[in-house]
Amino acid sequence: MITDIRLQQFRSYGDASFEFGSGVNIIVGPNASGKTNLLEAVLVVARGTSYRAKDAELVQFDAPWARLDAHTDSNGVRTIKITAEPAASKSYELDGKPFKRLSFPHTLPVVLFEPNHLLLLNGSPEKRRDYLDDLLQQMHTGYGTTVRSYRRTLAQRNALLKRGYRAAGPQLFPWNIRLSELGATIARARFELAETINEKLGSLYKDLAHATTKVELAYIPQFAINTYETALLKKLEATIELDAERGFTGAGPHREDFMVSFDSRLAGETASRGEARTCILALKTIELHLLEQFREQKPLLLLDDVFSELDGARRRALTEQLQAYQTFITTTDADVVVQHFGKVANVIPIQPQS
């Protein structure tokens, strides 16, 4: 839980402080007033990174640095310093002890629900891959390192491919082996997470939607999970010439996707707007429960301008999930949210920053 935060030269804030309640915190104000910037600051304090910007963009325009200070109930004072010049950099302090990065044990689990997530079912496969990877990074220590290593290895292989088949061919074998090993680890983790989500998704969707629709989620690997390394390596070796012609690697978890179906039909093609939003709401609820289970602490729940996007039934369903978590909701209409929480919410009014 985060009890308070101070923002200095962060985004639209010159110097501002806010106190938070242990339950629902409603951040209300007109558009462009800085609501999402405050929510973003909470996320940066918890996980060390933003969900929508590079580090340099977090620093107020024309300012050389930004700073966030927050108190938590788990590890005291958290300070994050961001410099924009001469090159963007970031440093952390936890109770006065310096760190170059927030390692897994030092992060706070977070579930973020923002407008782009409502497009998860019919958006790009990249967004769905990122969805699984983001959750896995919060559940398992070392997974983030694996993903970053895979991306670096993939970039190296692609750089070689762009030199052409004759030049690249003899040098690719060690990169193919490494890519196969890392790719198999990622594909298996995603596959297992998808199976875990699927075990809960169908019944939860029925409870939220009061419908009998059969909802299923499945990860679609390019190769059999049990023999993924061997199969991927063979594919990479067999398609070197084709990959060199195209200038990129055509096989691996960076090309895979997961599928959500409604009564055995692709949700992205057949689900109504309301059905899709109920499904996303179910996925976010599952995230909360999985993170609480794996991290053995309640995650923070951040809702960026999505509460008003839900109809009355879905708001009530979400409200039931919020009661047990410290929640931050941004909105332009406090009445829409307050009516669901009555006197238990902590309302934080935001005025446009001058």
10-residue mean pLDDT series, the chain (354 residues): 96 95 91 93 94 89 93 87 86 91 91 90 94 96 96 96 84 95 98 98 91 95 97 96 94 97 92 89 94 95 86 80 87 81 83 70
Residue 75 is predicted with a pLDDT of 66
Contact 235, 223 (CB under 8 A): yes
CA 142, 145, 150, 153 dihedral sign is negative
How buried is residue 259: exposed, middle or buried, by Cβ count under 10 Å (0-12/13-18/19+)?
Answer: middle
Neighbouring C-beta atoms of residue 10, cutoff 10 Å: 27
Residue 56 is predicted with a pLDDT of 87
The phi and psi torsions of 265 (rounded to 5 degrees) equal -115, 145
Residue 354 is predicted with a pLDDT of 59
Q: Rg of the Cα trace of the chain? A: 22
Q: Which two tokens stand for residue 201?
A: 């998704």
Strand ranges (DSSP E) for the chain?
A: 2-10, 13-19, 24-28, 65-72, 76-83, 89-94, 97-99, 110-113, 215-220, 257-262, 265-266, 300-304, 327-331, 346-349
Residue 326 bridge partners (DSSP): none
Q: pTM of the entire structure?
A: 0.91
SS3 340: helix
